[in-house]
A and B are shown apart, each in its own frame.
Chain A
Amino acid sequence: MTEVIMRKKKWKLSLILLLIVLASIASSVITDFNAAHGIASIPGALQWILSNMYLSEQAMERFPMIMNRLLETIFMSIAATTSAAVVSIFLGIMGSKVTRINPFLSSLARLIASFTRNIPVVAWALILLISFGQNSMTGYLALFAGTVGFLTRAFIETIDEANESAVEALRATGAMYPHIINKAVLPQSMPQIISWVLFMVETNIRSATLVGILTGTGIGFVFDMYYKTMDYNTVALVTYSIIITVICIELISNYVRKVIL
């Protein structure tokens, strides 16, 4: 009996692997991808990086300006994440099976989440750029839209996992809905919620770079400007400052996560 199941599993696995190989071959034909050329270009590329991506004195002169733009990006990501989290907590409470008020609002919350999440942040940025122009608000709103979708999904899952018996116990004492949310649901889910928010701050700093390139704001704009004028020393400085920022934020949020979870 188990032998039959094992053989079936093996067959299924081989079939999936075959499909993956076929899909990859089709993909390389469509995208004009040449694996040999790709592999051959790596050593040259690494050499190029080593010989061009170093810091020069000229680049260091621009350091204050880069820090300024970097701060704008950091503020943009934190503001977008925090305000999106506030909206998402409401949507999450509406959407979760444990705490929903009625099925219609629950589906609506899930629909909003799915819609905002699956439209790529690039599309939001490009649409907002047309009317809002080149300023921090464009980047902020684009990040906000994507973050609401992602966090709502995460919060719905977190609240769903919350202990239902605590909710039931409070309900049995005749507690009102706001009390149940405030005393049973939020305290239980708060560590997870904060953990997701911190994760999203990290992700948004990277996305903010991308949005910045498209909308001409923050560190992405600086990167794009020096990239296009082929000033690779400054490009290197910008890249290193992004790396250091992301790693610092990761260390801080790892510490917080370790303490609260």
Chain B
Amino acid sequence: MEAVTSIKRKRNGCIMIKAGNHADRVMSMTIAALFALTITAFFVFDYTGLEWKTAILGTLSNLKTMFLAPQLNSVGLPEAIHQVAITLGLATLATVIGAVIAFFLGLLAADNLSNNWVSKTIRTFVAFIRAVPTVLWVLIFAIAAGLGSEAAVIGMLFHSIAYLVKAFSESFEEIDEGVIEALRSTGSSWWHVVIHAVIPSTSTYLLSWTFLRFEINFSVAVAMGAAAGAGGIGYELFMASGFYFDLNEVGFITYAILAIAILLELLSTKLKKQYL
């Protein structure tokens, strides 16, 4: 009996090596769409007042001044350190309070510790919170609650909670189902399960995720200082570049932010490698 062969051929007679599938099609369509939109974007951009040559040369010379001659002029070094401390403080508060709230919401959002309905509600709520940029939360709270560090921290809290609830609930879902079942069969209450099974087996994950969020919150706090007047080193950066046009100072502040950000990144990479 003759074997039935079905060789697909291209129009020019070549044998098709790969059969196209749905995933490949979606992938190439995504790439094509992204490139098409990018090219359109360059045509619809608003170029008012832009002179390419002066802009590029100006930026290069500004970058040179910034990075090669960093210097503090209008604020002294102690004040600069104080401002960095304020930014770190805002990031710490938003992260710690966010982690505490996210812990409880994460428990309620985890499939194995909560019921379907509650976990779905929390997930939808978190998706909604994430859709609003942090700066809008901070600005809206600044008028609603009065300016001050409270508005900045509460505004930054929203995204911290949204991020950590997702990370925490995924860690909770990875707990060995047997441990929870064993505790439940002894008649333990929900709180017992949380204290004796959930916390001991996930504590390192929770701490690592929280630190990862702290790294993000530091740059968010810098941004909030610049865009929402939340104080700290971001505000100094905004003043130095937008009001005094003091590029030497912009350079110094950028170096300070860069140094802390790289330090935090090294720490969190190490934590991630060790525990996550």
- A residues contacting B by CB (< 8 A) are 13, 16, 20, 23-24, 26-28, 30-34, 37-38, 41-42, 44-46, 48-49, 53, 71-72, 75-76, 78-79, 81-83, 114-115, 118-123, 126-137, 140, 190-191, 194, 197-198, 206-207, 209-210, 213-214, 217, 223, 227, 232, 235, 239, 242-243, 246-247, 250, 256, 259-260
Contact = CB atoms under 8 A, between A and B. Distances in A.
B245 interface: yes
Contact of B46 (A44, A53, A79, A136): A136
Contact of B144 (A23, A49, A133): A49
A27 B92 contact: yes
Q: How large is the interface on B (under 10, 10 to 19, 20 to 34, 35 or more residues)?
A: 35 or more
Interface in B8-63: 22-23, 26-27, 30-31, 34-35, 37-38, 40-42, 44-50, 54-59, 62-63
29 contacts: A32-B148, A38-B150, A38-B154, A41-B144, A41-B145, A41-B154, A45-B141, A45-B154, A46-B144, A72-B44, A75-B40, A76-B41, A78-B34, A78-B41, A83-B38, A118-B265, A120-B261, A126-B241, A126-B242, A126-B250, A131-B54, A132-B55, A133-B50, A191-B23, A197-B34, A217-B46, A227-B139, A250-B131, A259-B23
Contact of B261 (A32, A118, A260): A118
Q: Is the interface of A mostly helix, strand, loop or mixed?
A: helix
Which of A41, A53, A121 has the most C-beta atoms of chain B within 10 angstroms of its own C-beta?
A: A41
B241 A78 contact: no
B132 A75 contact: no
A126 B238 contact: yes
Interface stretch (B112-120, B174-182, B188-196, B226-234): B226-234
A24 B223 CA distance: 21
A123 B131 contact: no
B267 to A, nearest CB: 13
Given A71-B44, A130-B62, A260-B26, 14 more contacts: A28-B93, A48-B143, A75-B37, A75-B41, A82-B37, A82-B38, A120-B261, A126-B241, A128-B59, A133-B50, A246-B131, A247-B131, A256-B27, A260-B27
A13 B149 contact: no
Contacts of A45: 141, 144-145, 154
A44 B143 CA distance: 11
B41 A123 contact: no
Which of B26, B131, B140 has the most C-beta atoms of chain A within 10 angstroms of its own C-beta?
A: B131
Contacts of B56: 131
Contacts of B262: 114, 118
Interface of B: 22-23, 26-27, 30-31, 34-35, 37-38, 40-42, 44-50, 54-59, 62-63, 66, 82, 85-86, 88-90, 92-93, 96, 127-128, 130-136, 139-141, 143-146, 148-150, 153-154, 203, 207, 219, 222-223, 226-227, 231-232, 234, 237-238, 241-242, 245, 247, 250, 253-254, 257-258, 261-262, 265
A140 B62 CA distance: 18
Given A78-B37, A118-B258, A132 B59 contact: yes
